[in-house]
Amino acid sequence: MNRAPGLKTYAVIYLLFLYGPILILPLFAFNDASIVAFPLAGFTTKWFAEMWADPNLWKALKNSLIIALSTATLSTVLGIFAARSSVRYKWPGKPVVMGFIMLPLVLPEMIVAMSLLIVLLGIGINLSIFTVIMGHVLMCTPFAVAILTSAFQSLDRSLEEAALDLGESAASTFRLIILPLVMPGILSSFLITFTISIDEFIVANFLGSGQPILSVYIFGQFRFPAKVPSMLALGTILVGVSVVLLAIAEYFRRRGIARTGGKDTGGFL
């Protein structure tokens, strides 16, 4: 089955194309030159120091963490409601309502952000971190629903029925049997929505009204050539954190599938 040298070479080149920019990040973050170009000039950590010393970064980071933690919590909770309802119960109109909840996934982000902005300006709500959270919850909920639906689908319904037969109430069955079994899915959803929210730019930019938020801060800094190396340093750290979070999310997702005895179908999407 493994006879395809041409395809394999292509696959390797494609992976290089995918990873190229990410590999360049640390390379130039430690490079001792203010111009990002070859040849490399020598090792330095001064870009990290420069980035670390900027007070605006810390303000942006604090705001971003508040936004991402709130978004991850809210969208995961909403995702639990939607996934439980769609997997466990039969009700009329399910395809329409579920399709509607998943809609933000396929709408251009800019349209979603702009229409929210028009309404907020129209009602007269001041733009703040809170409005950014609203936008992010809307965008992240479909991801949470998708991850949690597969977690709830791999639940064996007879476990739940057994608990009910043995005298547990519906609430305690949910708490004692279902919640622990879907916990890996919940953690995975939390981590992924957190990552999406931290990285998101359009909603943060337009609904944040100039509040320092990490992605907006990075976007602004990249406009000044002199700031590029220190942004590469920041990028190196962020990419590292993202990869670690996702590896943890993937670990929980797989453990969840293994725990409920399902088959791994791979991938987040």
251 binds another protein (CB under 8 A): no
Shortest Cβ distance from residue 53 to another protein (Å)? 20
Three-state DSSP class for residue 189:
helix
Candidates 15, 53, 176, 248: give the one binding another protein (CB under 8 A).
Answer: 15
Q: Which residue of 119, 125, 162, 179 would you call a contact of another protein, by CB under 8 A?
A: 119
Q: How far is the CB of 49 from another protein (least distance, A)?
A: 20
DSSP assignments along 53-74, one per residue:
T-HHHHHHHHHHHHHHHHHHHH
Binding to another protein in span 57-96, by CB under 8 A: 78-79, 81-82, 84-86, 88-92, 94
Query: What SS3 class is residue 31?
Result: strand
**Contact set for another protein, span 151-190 (CB under 8 A):** 161, 164
Considering only residues 201 to 220 of the shown chain, the ones binding another protein according to CB under 8 A are 201-202, 206, 215, 218-219
Q: Of 207, 195, 190, nearest to 78 (Cα)? A: 190
Q: How far apart are the C-alpha atoms of 147 and 88, rounded to whole Å? A: 15
The amino acid at 134: M
Residues 94-113 that bind another protein (CB under 8 A): 94, 97, 100-101, 103-104, 106-112
Q: Would you call 26 exposed, middle or buried from its count of C-beta atoms within 10 A (0-12, 13-18, 19+)?
A: middle
d(CA 29, CA 116): 37
Report if residue 228 touches another protein, rule: CB under 8 A: yes
- Piece in contact with another protein (CB under 8 A), picked from 13-21, 49-57, 65-73, 182-190: 13-21
Binder among 50, 54, 168, 250 for another protein (CB under 8 A):
250
